Structure 1
């Protein structure tokens, strides 16, 4: 996930819901089962949650006080609790980070990343592809500082399936780095095919652009520039070849946020419109070939961008993508989902797939909420609401 952020100061009254795949405890409700409708979680013992990051089957929560909680699958040490556990059913503090004020977190398939207010990067979990960035292929069950960036200021981290991206502060020439698995070009560090690297390497192509956000999921990578241009690299979206170096989307649209799934992505404009990249298989909204023919688009990278239908001009305020499902929030507080529904991750009371956005009922009138943010793991969904 990446976006141009605006700080939220309201911590008055929060509500957190989860639904979808839950057999690893990733829903945080103490159960090891899928849930097809939103389940409200108790926040009484947690300080104010400011954001979440969801991986394959684990969740990382960041509090407004810079503390970190995690839960769900922990078989690779991705929870950061200092031990390898099959699962953690409830949120548990990552105490080894207590002496740091954490400002950003990211969750990959089975690894995790944490950024402190002093610009330090910590990683833990599966390191078998070099995705932890420590110069080896070892795994760690506690967050370890990435020494490569000890003299630099890290602004953000994005964890994909088996690779990681890092964005630096105030460093226009060498802004974005990649490490981990690179077989589909997702590292963006070389035109040549790279199996994996275990130390961060700079991604070229951003010398004349200021990057403000990065995203990674599956074998995809993306970056967002300060003026709203979207760059993608890695595994090609439906019908298109892999790209080993960042490619700018040929569009006049200015994007403020972009998220990636396994076969698709979402991009949101400053006007609250949402567009979909790819959409292979279950995440597809309509037939891409017919859309391209109808629009008579000649540039393949522009042809792969499709406006999400059925919103009738409603402004969208947030977006999220799972492996094969998508979620958005409208400015009137509605949460809408579509795509793969096998585990109940659409929150619609069944396990059916949907090809267009459908409203989720959480039992509250979210129109009165000050803000609603959504987050997706591979097959599950969270919504965080502040009233």
Structure 2
């Protein structure tokens, strides 16, 4: 998403065969496309974009939700199981001011400014948190958190994490698929659960943010420590409990991909876990590649992303006013006009100079 002094613009690119680009066309786009929907002209400015498996959630500054893309599991929240290539409001949430959204592979979640949690879409792994494995085509409130105040929701492929407000020791909860340990609720893997359970291993550590994607989970503490659990980034052992990534660095953001994670430090440097395939990491043989180690395994798992020297990154997905992408490019999702993988960060052009602003978007 981008904006200038006069108007806000939303651009999309990559796989589009389910209408998830919002262009009205069911086709991939190799270069950024400006969304022309009249709905965006009439709506309040978009504050957040959350991208799922093939659908998108947009949150406006006044708390309204707009969705588009694949809807075959009810993940768009429109009351049906139809896909939609044009952005449309989620009308059943009109009576609430939504403050936080997250998109899983085929489901969606919404947090109101009063701390109430609503979910819809595919529930076959319990990822909606309703105590059943049923799917819903309209947002339904998660009753388990009725007496609690939800601050954040993070949706992975088929699992969810919830962060509560307040001083409770049990601040983080997990539900859904747990086959890779991504729920963090026990020392053993669980196939799935449909009711929220507390994530173990944090003790009195103050968690301020959570992330989920694929079969990965992550959290950041108030003092900048990074915790990960679930599917292993080094292809050896999955972790069923949160593991502290040992480092003297202070991390301020974490973003999880399908097989890699990005972590941003307070100094504006970017580090990556995993990502050997498709060129997600720069050349690992370069001698100036900084490596950190995991406390549990002692193996090098976190490496500095090269190609960003001299740039202080402000956001992991969009830093210093430009978008830089790298990695898997088969569907044009890098926005570079081709379908090639890229081994180092490349600037995405939007046709002219634009200032990027989307501090909360989730890029899957």
TM-score between the two structures when normalised by the length of structure 2: 0.93
Please give the alpha-carbon distance, in whole angstroms, between the structure 1 residues aligned to 2:59 and 2:180. 31
Please give the alpha-carbon distance, in whole angstroms, between the structure 2 residues aligned to 1:147 and 1:174. 17
- Spell out, residue by residue over 1:50-84, the C-alpha distance to the aligned partner (whole angstroms, 9 max, x if none): 01100000000000000000000000000000111
Equivalent residue, structure 2, for 1:105: 101
Native 8 Å contact 2:211 2:218 kept in 1: yes
1:71 aligns to 2:57 (yes or no):
no
Alpha-carbon offset, residue 329 of structure 1 = 2.4
- Spell out, residue by residue over 1:262-305, the C-alpha distance to the aligned partner (whole angstroms, 9 max, x if none): 110001111111111111311531465x5799868665467211
Equivalent residue, structure 2, for 1:244: 240
Native 8 Å contact 2:247 2:293 kept in 1: no
Equivalent residue, structure 1, for 2:10: 16
Please give the alpha-carbon distance, in whole angstroms, between the structure 1 residues aligned to 2:293 and 2:154. 32
Equivalent residue, structure 1, for 2:307: 310
Please give the alpha-carbon distance, in whole angstroms, between the structure 2 residues aligned to 1:66 and 1:373. 16
Equivalent residue, structure 2, for 1:253: 249
Equivalent residue, structure 1, for 2:330: 342
- List, as ranges, runs of 4+ consecutive aligned residues in structure 1 with deviation greater than 6 Å: 291-298
Native 8 Å contact 1:249 1:302 kept in 2: no
Equivalent residue, structure 2, for 1:3: none
1:221 aligns to 2:217 (yes or no):
yes
Native 8 Å contact 1:264 1:283 kept in 2: no
Alpha-carbon offset, residue 106 of structure 1 = 0.2
- Spell out, residue by residue over 1:192-218, the C-alpha distance to the aligned partner (whole angstroms, 9 max, x if none): 120000000000122221111100000
Native 8 Å contact 1:251 1:302 kept in 2: no
**Change over 3 Å in CA distance of 1:312–1:336 after alignment to 2:** same
The secondary structure found in structure 1 opposite 2:173 is: strand
The secondary structure found in structure 2 opposite 1:282 is: helix
1:329 aligns to 2:325 (yes or no):
no
Equivalent residue, structure 2, for 1:383: none
Aligned residues: 356
Please give the alpha-carbon distance, in whole angstroms, between the structure 2 residues aligned to 1:281 and 1:294. 17
Native 8 Å contact 1:250 1:301 kept in 2: no
Give structure 2 stretches of 5+ with no counterpart. Answer: none
Higher relative contact order (CA 8 A, sep 6+): 1
1:38 aligns to 2:32 (yes or no):
yes
Native 8 Å contact 2:282 2:306 kept in 1: no
Native 8 Å contact 2:279 2:343 kept in 1: yes
Native 8 Å contact 1:318 1:374 kept in 2: no
Please give the alpha-carbon distance, in whole angstroms, between the structure 2 residues aligned to 1:74 and 1:303. 40
Please give the alpha-carbon distance, in whole angstroms, between the structure 2 residues aligned to 1:292 and 1:171. 44
Please give the alpha-carbon distance, in whole angstroms, between the structure 2 residues aligned to 1:237 and 1:318. 22
